[in-house]
Structure 1
């Protein structure tokens, strides 16, 4: 059996350098790290995972706890995390909390008990408890929704994106834009509502039309129905995510309304279907893959001990993608 000392002799480096390289630490000179990996490959070296985990008191496993794996936004985040993690020799355990505080707490407890190397969490709300992880010394990175805990985070400027989308609807000629947002305890839902409200208020003499619902397709269906049943219904809708937008489309078409003609429509998130529906859907695109990749890199730095003491907070921008659903067209 090839041992770590054999790799060190083959690469012409110390055993400590081999250990740091194979553990993914960034403090190793890149040329030396390359020699170590090449030597390990030539000799067919395979680390003793059980022994290494006992020494490190951790596994080569990351826990990724997200709100909804069916949401394409979180699917893209997952891919970004996995790609970076695998490049550094880590595997990813995917946990789906379903916006359920109880499930989230269970997964956080399991992550701590199983001695995962680190956790990336999309918290259900600001009150999500990661205290046990911090006391156990498990590095943690927060994505999409913030926590007051002093840990690294990667967020998106949701408020700015919603503001830009609402401004676009008004500039396109829609005079009664409304917002269908998520639950009150979801930070992203509140940020998108605030962005909508700031745009409407600045334009002046516009009604503030909005409803809340779950970040699910039925939330979009029920939200659209409530708004469209009002005595003075909206003529355009900003929807808080793509799953809700599917429900909105269902309700709008059930009523015989034509998107882009009778009602304008724009949604957060560039889902796979948004450019293929008729008319194509305008979106506030979030850099979901980059969120995951950046979060994983922050976590790798923490695990390797190369991160600064103070938490790092990254803020990524959205991009408005205008298509026919939000451009006001003349009736045909």
Structure 2
């Protein structure tokens, strides 16, 4: 028998006493009820963190048909955007007394569907889904068919069955167009990975529409590849080898920005003297490399917060038509953007 002191698990009543509120108020806060006064919500969360309170999942499961588990399905975890998204979702779930179970679809709709079936078997309380394609893909259809509670994020615009939250990609790309056209760029290459995703279509449309409105004679070349970055790399290399000389490149996704930059360096081109570069999505390396790379920053924390708020409202029984939210992005103009050079890009790279 251990001689050490036995530490009692903090209860909801301990949290209530510490926060100076009732146990019912603590329960409402943990379940996301919006009628609680903001100051009381803050006191409850501070007490939860100080006491190390954790809801008893066994007791909760005995009172409801579904477990206190939130599922999250994202296309991948490697990028800073989705990696950060999982971190935010996990923190927000745990604040409500839930556990987050996250899985990667690997950009496969078949795997996405299989993971959703597993989560249905686990009787998760709700699902946050960043679909492989868009709101009309297999993931959304499967959630609706099984009557699952869910919210869709990122590659979505709006849906008839589920709440959606994503970045305002169209407005962000329009801002990129205004920046480049305003600096005198009239020949721009746009690169991306697939056009089937709602966010890719919105980014391309926002850029094209705004650029052509500012100057109808602007030349916009587009390279989109459906699968991986290697076909994109080959297409960009072939494009430049044919003699095409845009004065700026706008990448619609993070890996594309890195692919474009590596091709510039292979050819001996420098930003922004020889060519300008803007990428959608920011990463730490973009602010520490030389030159620093201009980027559209997506509001990951706001998307996660809105998604979880919507999800818990539905879990708690809120009804009504689905809500579609677009969160505003920020364009960080860094050293990789300048005015077009007066002549053709100089030589200096193999493969020209």
8 A contact 2:165–2:303 mirrored in 1? yes
2:170 to 137, 159, 171: 159
3-state SS in 1 of match to 2:287:
coil
CA contact (8 A) 1:281 1:324 kept: yes
Q: Does 1:260 align with 2:268?
A: no
Gapped runs of 5+ residues in structure 1? none
CA distance in 2, matches of 1:164, 1:5: 48
Task: Give yes or no for the alignment of 1:271 onto 2:283.
Answer: yes
Q: What is the CA–CA distance in structure 2 between the aligned matches of 1:272 and 1:87, rounded to whole Å?
A: 28
Cα distance change, pair 261–133 in 1 and its aligned pair in 2 (3 A): same
> Is contact 1:7–1:36 with CA below 8 Å preserved after alignment?
no
Residue of structure 1 in register with 2:140 after alignment: 130
Root-mean-square deviation (CA, aligned residues, Å) is 3.5
On the 8 A contact 2:131/2:139 being kept in 1, the answer is: no
How far is the alpha carbon of 1:327 from its aligned partner?
1.4
Provide closer, same or farther for how the CA distance between residues 83 and 223 of structure 1 changes in structure 2, counting only shifts above 3 A: farther
Give the C-alpha shift of residue 173 in structure 1.
2.5
Counterpart of 2:350? none
Change (3 A) 1:162 1:154: same
The corresponding residue for 1:142 is 152
What residue in structure 2 maps to residue 295 of structure 1? 307
Distance 1:119 1:175 in 2: 44
1:20/1:169 CA distance change after superposition, 3 Å: same
Shift of 1:76: 2.1
Find the counterpart in structure 2 of residue 95 from structure 1.
103
Say which SS state the counterpart of residue 288 (structure 2) adopts. Answer: coil
Partner of 1:186: 197
1:161 deviates by: 1.2
TM-score of the two chains, using structure 2 as the length reference = 0.80
Distance 1:272 1:145 in 2: 23
The residue aligned with 2:212 is 201
Secondary structure of the residue aligned to 1:81 is helix
Name the counterpart of 2:77: 69
Shift of 1:90: 1.3
Question: Match for residue 211 of structure 1?
Answer: 223
Cα pair distance change 1:110/1:37, threshold 3 Å: same
Query: Partners of 2:176 and 2:52 in 1: how far apart?
Result: 54
Paired with 2:116 and 2:77, the residues of 1 have a C-alpha distance of 17
How far apart in 2 are the matches of 1:260 and 1:148?
A: 41
Q: CA deviation at 1:9?
A: 12
Alignment deviations for residues 106-164 of structure 1 (CA, whole Å, 9 cap, x no partner):
11111111111110001112222434434544320110122644211112221121121
CA gap of 1:106–1:256, structure 2 versus 1, over 3 A, is: same
Q: Does the 8 A contact of 1:285 with 1:319 survive in 2?
A: yes
Flag the 1:18–1:223 CA change in 2: closer, same or farther, 3 A: same
Distance between the aligned counterparts of 1:329 and 1:3, measured in 2?
63
State the SS of the aligned residue for 1:111: helix
Structure 2: where are the runs of 5+ without partners? 1-7, 347-352
Q: Which residue of 2 aligns with 1:240?
A: 252
The answer to whether the 8 Å contact 2:167/2:326 transfers is yes
State yes or no: 1:24 paired with 2:31.
yes
1:313 Cα shift? Answer: 1.4
Q: Residues of 2 paired with 1:41 and 1:136: CA distance?
A: 36
SS across alignment from 1:133: helix
